[in-house]
């Protein structure tokens, strides 16, 4: 069963930077960061495939955000630079993992981003960017 614990959110001024972290456990095909702003739908921001390291970014994140993974510590990162007020949202770490596990039972996917369907979610970390 996959577990995800995020940290690193906070408040910054426009143009600033933040790095989000997510400690992961369990096997996954892909890891990603999603975000959801008040009154808006959840959207994928960036993802990385655990086999091969292929990354995918939403258009608004390209050139500003970098997703990476540190294998020895099982930590997923999202480095966010040149932040804008429209980046304000709750950010969620997500994993695409086998839909069935003996410990967790059946876990259907609830979102798709890039080439993966995501079925495990962290608790979220708030990012607020002021102008």
Whole-number average pLDDT of the chain: 95
Q: What is the pLDDT of residues 21-79, one digit of tens each?
A: 999 999 999 999 999 999 999 999 999 999 989 999 999 999 999 999 998 999 999 99
Strand partners, 57: 46
Q: 């069935």: which residue's tokens? A: 100
In the chain, helix, strand, coil percent, each to 5? 5, 55, 40
**Model pLDDT, residue 78:** 98
User: Does residue 104 carry a pLDDT above 80?
Assistant: no
pLDDT band, very low/low/confident/very high, at 107 (cuts 50, 70, 90): confident
Q: Is the distance from CB of 65 to CB of 34 less than 8 angstroms?
A: no
What's the confidence (pLDDT) of residue 89? 98
Q: What is the pLDDT of residue 105?
A: 85
């Amino acid at each position: 069963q996959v577990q995800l614990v995020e940290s690193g959110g906070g408040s910054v001024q426009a143009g600033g930077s933040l790095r989000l972290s997510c400690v992961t456990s369990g096997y996954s095909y892909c890891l990603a960061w999603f975000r959801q702003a008040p009154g808006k739908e959840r959207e994928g921001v960036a993802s990385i495939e655990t086999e091969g390291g292929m990354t995918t970014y939403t258009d608004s994140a390209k050139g500003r955000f970098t997703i990476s993974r540190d294998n020895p510590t099982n930590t997923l990162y999202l480095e966010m630079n040149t932040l804008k007020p429209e980046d304000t949202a709750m950010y969620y770490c997500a994993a695409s993992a086998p839909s069935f596990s003996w410990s967790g039972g059946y876990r259907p996917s609830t979102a798709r981003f890039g080439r993966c369907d995501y079925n495990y979610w962290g608790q979220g970390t708030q990012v607020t960017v002021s102008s």
